[in-house]
Structure 1
Amino acid sequence: MDGEIKEGFLCPICHIDFRSPKILLSHFQEKHAEEQDLLKSLKDLVGKAKSKILKVDDRDIEAIKSDVTFQRYFLEKSEPQNPGISRSHIEYFKEVRRERLDHRTSETNKLIIRLDRFLRSTGTDRKQVAQELVTWLDGSTVSRCPSCAASFNLTRRQHHCRLCGSIMCNSCSTFLTYEEARSITTSVYSSDTSVVQNKHKDDQDTLRICSHCKGMLDCRSKVQMSQSHHPLICKLYQQLQRAKNQIQPNVDLYIKMFTSLDMGDTTYTLHDAQHLKSSIAKQAEILDTISCKISAIPPKAEFPREFSLQNSIRRGTNMYIKEVILTLPNLPSPSELVKKREQRLLLNSQESAAADSVHVAVKKVAVTTGWSPANVANNLEASTADGGEDPLIEQINIVRNYIQQAIQANRFEEVASLRENLNMLKLMHKEQQKSQQQHQPRDK
């Protein structure tokens, strides 16, 4: 065949094109009758191809696929090749993208600055004000509109963009209202949305700009909207994370308090531990409520995976409550606590004897929570009515007030330190009263 490629209804033996399946079959029956197997396969192949062309059922097409094999029609199956040398262009892509984004951001910022200056300008001639803000392109050098390539004439006049100074025709111009301009120049995060408004600039007035500047301003408006608008699931998830961050320190403190009470230590009280556990239970209820709200949000059709995400958040919260909150150890009963402390006192008899010594030193407690000795004035008045102002009693009342505030804030480590100081102050007050009674003159 000398490398010539033919196509059509070719005879597989003599390679002649007969231009129709009927002529090909009749030729094969006459000239190649001895090749019955090949003739049968040829009939089957022609019939299946004809059925496929005529769009037969899918079952016949599947039968054709199963009948046509590589070995039957002498086709060679190529082995999969090993991949060659590859090169990653991610870093190059990031570099190019970063440069383009920086350029687009700087150009957009320039437009915003010019637009803001235009809104704050005091001139009455808006055209003159626009020419002072940006240099206009010379119209004599431009014969056609850069956007639509239409030539300028008497009916198609040249117009300048008020923000970049480029030239366009009236059809390619875009008009921006002053109300839209003020909303663009006003920051999303600013609580004060008022912008200097001149008397000659009404909200119904428009500002002629090109389509390129309009596109960049629209992109900035979309970014502002995306930054200011958060979906409900995002807001609830942020609340869930804040609640979880608040509950975890209380869980750690409760375990520490339980360990101390179980060892018979007197650093913490059983009442404080119970109060902290009830606070943890309330916080767990808040976690469960927020996760229920997240799972109850109706999913959107454009986000098919949102429903699975909501269920995952719900399951994760339930697992956290079961594994962390519900597995907290139970506190000992008051009778068990008394026995544990008696055993601890027997083991530490020497330390308890040293603690009962006369010399008492008062610790300094650094209060960093902004507490103030509120409601101490009433206690001071009571102490004054009893026996005059006593600085030691005043200090005792202040420490008691700090203890109440620390309990409300679940700062039980500081509660333990403050109570230790309160006990020391009471011992000092008792020693002071004893010394005063001893130095008082006896009646004859």
Structure 2
Amino acid sequence: MAEATIKEGFLCPICHKDLRSPNNLIAHFQDLHSEEQDILKSIKDIYGIAKKKILKIDDKDLELFKKEITLEKYYLEYSEPQEPGPAKSHTDYFKAIRRERLDHRTTETNKLVIRLDRLLRFYGSDRKQQEQELVAWLDGSTVNRCPSCASVFNITRRQHHCRLCGSIMCNSCSYFLPYETAQTIVAPVTSLNNQEQGAAKESDSLRICNHCLDMLECRRRVQIEQMIQPIICQLYSHLQKNKFQIQNSVDMYNKMYTSLVSGETTYLLQDLQSLRTTIADKAQMIDTLSKKIASLPVDPETPKAVALQNSIRKATSIYIKDYLLTLPAPPTVHELEKFKKNYLMKAVDDDIMPTPKTSIKKVTVTTGWSPANVTNDSIVVEDDDPLLEQMNIVRNYIDQARKAQRFEEVASLQENLEMLKKMYRQQQAKPNTDK
């Protein structure tokens, strides 16, 4: 007699079919064996009792596990803190390893940039040959697959070489670097002139691999980060630039004021008033920049930034109050005439010719000013005297320098004009002396 086959699973007690799940078993029994309601009820009861027992066993196991991992059982002997053992810092070792890798990456990147700079100089039909002479291409006779995507090389998938390192890749793994982008990467070291740059077409590009592209992109990101400054740095740089410019204006204002109060005629009162207006405008701009810096949003985690912004604002306010607002006011016309009269009387009493007390800086007129259209109603040129013509030219230069508020050049040109006038007077007096 053959041994009976033992079946397992969710078997139907009537047809002994394996339904694989309790829901399928119940549905099968309701559809095909609905007349056996007692058996169906017993199946549901058995399944419910088994489920409760399984869940109860799981709950007991969970409670037992929780009791086994209590701190009272396992960590009672560690109530006393343990003394720390010897420690060793690995920071120096980490820095050494990191520095070595950074140096290697920097060296490789610099090599790529140098090669890229040289490749940008190659144009014409023999460019491919020149590229192979600059960078040795790997031999592809033993390379059957693309190192990047592992695709097999065949007739439709040809081998290509990176122009920067000479490695092999397929067309899908290639990246075409435009010449314009390449020139921005090598901008610090490139020496291409305008003619060479114009020879390259806009569609020209270099085939490179992903590894070289990654290294060049890292260099480009570093360059962009170095060029871009935070908004507070930009505003502060603009603030310092305006303070440097206003410093020169303040020094010139004090020199002009001293000259006018002394009774000298080197400068004009209108020049002093114009320069004071310029200083006031720049002071207002400096004050506005400091307010912008103080009102910039600050990260709550950086409280020192708030103190820095407030310090910049406070220092700027003190600078304007103690240095710019304390400048002496320009003298009135009546006061100016009085100063000139006292200066001339003192010169007569001392029996000396008036000499300017302020030091005039010798400058060279290199601004491209033109002496064209010079007209002067006070002097009439009768015999085309070169001295008179030169005096008119100098007067024209003085007017242009005064409009540009370049008062150092005004003073220097004024001195030259006085010298020309003296020479002209001597020339006119010479014939009378001969008679």
Q: TM-score, normalised by structure 2?
A: 0.57
CA distance in 2, matches of 1:93, 1:404: 68
- How far 1:175 moved relative to its partner? 2.5
- How far 1:129 moved relative to its partner? 8.4
CA distance in 2, matches of 1:424, 1:109: 60
- How far 1:135 moved relative to its partner? 3.3
CA distance in 2, matches of 1:328, 1:191: 51
Letter in structure 2 aligned against 1:406: A
Calculate the aligned-residue CA RMSD, in Å: 5.7
- How far 1:233 moved relative to its partner? 6.4
- How far 1:303 moved relative to its partner? 10
Match of 1:122 in 2: 125
**Which sits farther off after the overlay, 303-312 or 234-243?**
303-312
1:354 to 345, 349, 352: 352
SS in 2 for 1:401: helix
Q: Residues 135, 233 of structure 1: CA spacing in aligned structure 2 closer, same or farther, 3 A cutoff?
A: same
Residues 257-294 of structure 1: CA deviation (Å, up to 9, x unaligned): 23344455554443332222122223334444555666
Alignment: residue pair count: 354
Q: Residues 169, 392 of structure 1: CA spacing in aligned structure 2 closer, same or farther, 3 A cutoff?
A: closer
Match of 1:106 in 2: 110
Match of 1:181 in 2: 178
CA distance in 1, matches of 2:364, 2:181: 44
SS in 1 for 2:200: coil
CA distance in 1, matches of 2:110, 2:236: 34
CA distance in 2, matches of 1:88, 1:354: 78
- Check conservation: 2:179, 2:206, Cα contact below 8 A: no
CA distance in 1, matches of 2:262, 2:328: 14
- Check conservation: 2:119, 2:131, Cα contact below 8 A: no
**Which sits farther off after the overlay, 102-111 or 283-292?**
283-292
Do residues 256 (structure 1) and 255 (structure 2) align?
yes
Residues 96-155 of structure 1: CA deviation (Å, up to 9, x unaligned): 47743551233322552575477x35269x7x887666433344666887668x697989
- Check conservation: 2:347, 2:354, Cα contact below 8 A: no
Which ranges in structure 2 are unaligned for 5 or more consecutive residues? 1-63
- Check conservation: 1:380, 1:394, Cα contact below 8 A: no
CA distance in 1, matches of 2:107, 2:282: 49
Letter in structure 2 aligned against 1:270: L
- How far 1:383 moved relative to its partner? 1.6
- How far 1:405 moved relative to its partner? 2.7
Letter in structure 2 aligned against 1:354: I
- What does residue range 52-71 of structure 1 map to in structure 2 within 5 Å? none
Match of 2:364 in 1: 368
Task: Name the % identity.
Answer: 40
2:400 to 400, 405, 417: 405
Match of 1:137 in 2: 138
Q: Residues 382, 336 of structure 1: CA spacing in aligned structure 2 closer, same or farther, 3 A cutoff?
A: closer
Which ranges in structure 1 are unaligned for 5 or more consecutive residues? 1-18, 24-45, 54-72, 358-363
- Check conservation: 1:376, 1:397, Cα contact below 8 A: no
Match of 1:322 in 2: 321
**Which one has the largest radius of gyration?**
2
CA distance in 1, matches of 2:344, 2:99: 71
- What does residue range 411-422 of structure 1 map to in structure 2 within 5 Å? 411-422=406-417
Residues 315-367 of structure 1: CA deviation (Å, up to 9, x unaligned): 5554443333222222333334444455555555554x23189xxxxxx9955
Letter in structure 2 aligned against 1:166: S
